[in-house]
Structures are given as structure tokens and as C-alpha cells.
Amino acid sequence: MLNLQKTELMISAGKPEQFPKNSVPHVVFSGRSNVGKSSLINTLLNRKSLARVSSAPGKTVTVNFYLIDNALIFADLPGYGYARRSYDKKEDFSALTDAYLSRCENIALVLQLVDLKVGLTEYDKMMLKWLVDTGTPFCVIGTKADKLNKTELRKAVQALVGDSSVGAAPVIPFSYLNGAGKDEVWKQIYNVCRE
């Protein structure tokens, strides 16, 4: 088991040359702006504000690397699909994300976050297609589960499970308010890291 107390923000990388160069496995957090990546990271690590949470979408403009117990890295990618940025800036973010995904050889698992209230966006489907095409292991985390009643939640999860772009990947509903799904996510992380 990892010692979560030994967690630190290694670097907020704004350029590809700043990416960590080591052989530690990476768990990548991907999703649209404001989908809840920082909240998921903080919940998994039992922290309140290690990853900065913002109510304004599009705040994470770097790839943030968190080193856990010198044995695992959480890589938090910039959110995509947020329209209120200049076009050049959007290109910068996608270039940074592309550089990371194409250069990093230590990606063990991608956690693809999808807002359960919104469902899959075109950007989500593009990302899922890339994950499938490259054979990158991933699971889908349905965020903001607490914002839906039981019937809505069941329908939203079924819609994800039944979508061809998700394929056979696990789908885990998650809520940072009550921690629902946290243990399931850790199980997926430990499974791939053992391999």
C-alpha cells in the first residue's frame, strides 16, 4: 500500500521539457474543464487542497505532477473544451497535452472523467478514441454523482456503459461530497500498477 502522507506536487509543467523523467508509473487525470479532476485527486489523496479546485473552468493550464510515496505519479492534464479562452491558448493546451500523451512511456492508466449530468461530449469521445486506438488502459469516472437522484444516476451510468466509445472499460460513478466511488478508483489504480 502507498503512504499517502508522502505526497508532494513535483512540478506544474508548462513546457514538455519540464515533464518528469523517471520510471515511476503515471495515473493520468483527463477530462473537460470543470469536470472535477482536482476534486477527485484531493479525495483520493485524503487532502483538502493539494490540487487547487476552482469554480471557474479552465484554470489548470499546466500538467501538474503529484509524486506519491516515490512510487506513483498522478498527472493532472489541463481541461479541454472550454470556449472562453483565446484560440492560441487553446492550441497551447492541446499541444501540451498531446506532447505529454505522446512522449510519456510510463502511463499505466488514464482516468477519463465525464460529468454524469452532461454525458459524453465530442471532446470526450475524441479522447476515448485515442485511448482505444493507442491501447492505453483507461476507466471512465462519472463525476458529480451526488447531483443526480437514483433514477437519473442509473440512467446516466447505463448511457456511459452502453456507449461504443467507452467499450468494455470500467465505469465508476464518483462523488467528492460523500466519497462514493473512491475505493473503486483505487482498486483500478492498484490493479494496473501491480501489472
Q: Would you kindly state where each structural domain of the chain is located, as residue ranges? A: 7-194
Q: Contact at 8 Å (CB) between 77 and 113? A: no
Q: How confident is the model at residue 195 (pLDDT cuts 50, 70, 90)?
A: low
pLDDT in tens, 39-63: 999 999 998 878 766 555 445 578 9
pLDDT score for 193:
78
Q: Contact at 8 Å (CB) between 43 and 57? A: no
Q: Give the mean pLDDT of the chain.
A: 88
Whole-model pTM?
Answer: 0.90
pLDDT score for 53:
61
Residue 23 corresponds to which cell in the numbers above?
A: 520510471
pLDDT in tens, 170-191: 999 999 999 999 999 999 999 9
Question: What are residue 100's phi and psi, to 5 degrees?
Answer: -65, -50
Specify the CATH number of the domain 7-194.
Answer: 3.40.50.300
pLDDT in tens, 133-156: 999 999 999 999 999 999 999 999
pLDDT score for 32:
92
DSSP string, 111-159: EEEEETTT---HHHHHHHHHHHHHT--EEEEEE-GGGS-HHHHHHHHHH
pLDDT in tens, 65-106: 999 999 999 999 988 865 444 444 444 457 889 899 988 999
